[in-house]
Structure 1
């Protein structure tokens, strides 16, 4: 009688009958920047067109998974259409197949909502309708805003090589109160996509203000948003105010056309007209700092109270040989000048000192002798910033003292009289430090020359 479980020979006893063990391919994932394209569109006809304006985001990785990748999709393509009229967005997602390769399947909807939140319009038909239903979104925001600055169509000066790059009727407006939250919630995706390392501001804090740069269409009275700045008002004891620029962004199609400069100039005017203590910028990127410094140097060139102090410094550089000086020489502005600049132009001390170096450069003739002296004062200043003012160790020597206590905690420090040189033990990384200092000086000299060249063209 046969049994239900028949005995079989060991399949591994016969090499021909051995089972083959297969390993599934591990999903390596795909980086978001590889499969996502974001287009900025101003009409419904541009939606779906490959000729629409392509935005290049700073980094999308941190919106997806812990390691910044998308998993579980083959042939994935994500196309995002972002309206420059309403700042609402629609997403088209296509892929060949999905499979769990060991790391799951990324929830794309959840990840995209980390960027766009409630600004995502699910159906394409509804998104297309927003170009008519939301065409006055910006206008509704600015209807009660305060106009700060106008620039009639004589060109928005920006790029020095194209001083009238794009004619425009533009206005800078100040938005405060409830409209700030409604507007900024629509602008958050642009901030996350285009401002590196930026976080949304707290719109519930009434001390935040939004400054808009808009262009009015003369034919249909529609407003187009060119850029914006978010400014925070700090209280300064006892009854003063300080302005800090927290975020500034020019919408991509209008970048490098002078509109960012237009916004900064308007903010300078606000600081002066309201007589705040000063205007600062929170961690400016290099491009913003370049524009800011160019504006401030131009303002300082026309500011008479600094001219005497500047002439004194320039005269020293022209008539002294600094390479033979044993100690660094101060070429900074007097305290009274720093205070005059802050009170009148609202330029803070740190920014003014940056501008001061450029003002000196502009006042020197490009002779090798002068430039050698100039580089010396820049080098001394950089060294003081990096390793302490005047090295803070010149003329000092540390001597160990025998003791019954902790040897590392027992020493005496002596300072020589009259500035006599003493031997200071050099760190084993001294060579590396000197090379790093040289690179920093080279970088600073490059920054100075770039601003000076731009100023020279416009003078």
Structure 2
């Protein structure tokens, strides 16, 4: 074999080793999906939390199915579902957090379909595990249990001593177009009342969805003061009195040298369903001395 034939043999061997395996190279490159393509494939399973979560104020059993019930969506959810505020793993998802209008006892109704079962992507979000730290104590996910709560609900309960009141100029949302106008009552609450403290723990769970970096106050700290706003109206047919807590203000008493106390507003929250009705400006006057 001459030198030329020997070199030709080396070239052919080189081709057989490295160049005649195009499928192997292609398969290797395709064995790992491109991140952008993979993320696009998963996009139907990523839901913005604010678009799939809704809150309802429940006055009666019929409200669970009614589309006319007072409802609203959260403004934020990063403390519950992370900085991207999305829920992953469900093609169809609906989360309804139902609050009894007076006691704020809670029923969580989660409807989900098209659950992603196998994927190399991050695991599915455990919805209830994410929600539970931010829900009222003794919440339920059972409709029948919540129906019993509705039966036992006191519609006219109100905590605290009345400071002032004013009449709403807009019609009550619970009974639209029926000329029902509510009164708003501002009360200062007794921080030693254990029943009130349990109620406040339930109601304050709203704030994580509407106040950035919200946290729950220490109700055993005597320096806290709580003011509540109640909506009061009469049922147009039964004439029964209904009272609904629609917001609160927490005020902290600081020591001011040499021997004084200075108060400072910490949190001020009005339910989205009752905003833009003049409640905030009218409610601050009693505790600001205006």
- Which of 92, 96, 106 aligns to 2:114? It is 96
Instruction: Say if 1:228 and 1:263, in contact at 8 Å, map to a contact too.
Output: no
Instruction: Say if 1:215 and 1:225, in contact at 8 Å, map to a contact too.
Output: yes
- Which of 126, 129, 134 aligns to 1:115? It is 134
Are 1:129 and 2:142 counterparts? no
Quick one: distance in 2 between partners of 1:242 and 1:166? 40
Aligned-partner SS, 1:85: coil
Alignment correspondent of 2:100 = 83
Please identify, of 12-21 and 84-93, the stretch whose mean Cα deviation from structure 2 is larger.
Answer: 12-21
Alignment correspondent of 2:186 = 172
Aligned-partner SS, 1:214: strand
Instruction: Give how far 1:183 is off.
Output: 2.4
Quick one: distance in 2 between partners of 1:114 and 1:174? 28
Give the TM-score of the pair, scaled to structure 2.
0.72
In the alignment, structure 2 segments of 5+ residues that lack a partner are: 1-18, 171-178
Instruction: Say if 1:31 and 1:68, in contact at 8 Å, map to a contact too.
Output: yes
Alignment correspondent of 1:261 = 281
1:38-49 maps to which residues of 2 (within 5 A)?
38-49=55-66
Quick one: distance in 1 between partners of 2:192 and 2:120? 48
Are 1:243 and 2:268 counterparts? no
Instruction: Say if 1:157 and 1:258, in contact at 8 Å, map to a contact too.
Output: no
Quick one: distance in 2 between partners of 1:38 and 1:101? 33
Q: Note the alpha carbon deviations across 1:209-255, whole angstroms, 9 max, x for none.
A: 11112234454344222321111112222332211111112223322
Aligned residues: 247
Relative to structure 1, the CA distance from residue 168 to residue 97 in structure 2 (aligned partners, 3 Å threshold; closer, same or farther) is closer
Quick one: distance in 2 between partners of 1:156 and 1:53? 17
Are 1:60 and 2:77 counterparts? yes
Are 1:191 and 2:211 counterparts? no
The structure number with the bigger radius of gyration is 1
Quick one: distance in 1 between partners of 2:187 and 2:25? 78
Root-mean-square deviation (CA, aligned residues, Å) is: 3.1
Relative to structure 1, the CA distance from residue 16 to residue 104 in structure 2 (aligned partners, 3 Å threshold; closer, same or farther) is closer
**Which is richer in strand?**
2
**Which is richer in helix?**
1
Aligned-partner SS, 1:201: coil
Instruction: Give how far 1:14 is off.
Output: 8.2
Quick one: distance in 2 between partners of 1:91 and 1:189? 17
Query: Which protein, 1 or 2, shows the higher relative CO under an 8 Å CA cutoff with sep ≥ 6?
Result: 2
Instruction: Give how far 1:74 is off.
Output: 2.3
Relative to structure 1, the CA distance from residue 75 to residue 157 in structure 2 (aligned partners, 3 Å threshold; closer, same or farther) is closer
Quick one: distance in 2 between partners of 1:18 and 1:201? 61
Relative to structure 1, the CA distance from residue 45 to residue 260 in structure 2 (aligned partners, 3 Å threshold; closer, same or farther) is same
Instruction: Give how far 1:166 is off.
Output: 7.9
Quick one: distance in 1 between partners of 2:73 and 2:278? 20
Relative to structure 1, the CA distance from residue 19 to residue 80 in structure 2 (aligned partners, 3 Å threshold; closer, same or farther) is same
Relative to structure 1, the CA distance from residue 65 to residue 193 in structure 2 (aligned partners, 3 Å threshold; closer, same or farther) is closer
In the alignment, structure 1 segments of 5+ residues that lack a partner are: 1-11, 159-164, 270-344, 346-459
Quick one: distance in 2 between partners of 1:91 and 1:254? 23
Relative to structure 1, the CA distance from residue 15 to residue 207 in structure 2 (aligned partners, 3 Å threshold; closer, same or farther) is closer
Relative to structure 1, the CA distance from residue 67 to residue 168 in structure 2 (aligned partners, 3 Å threshold; closer, same or farther) is closer
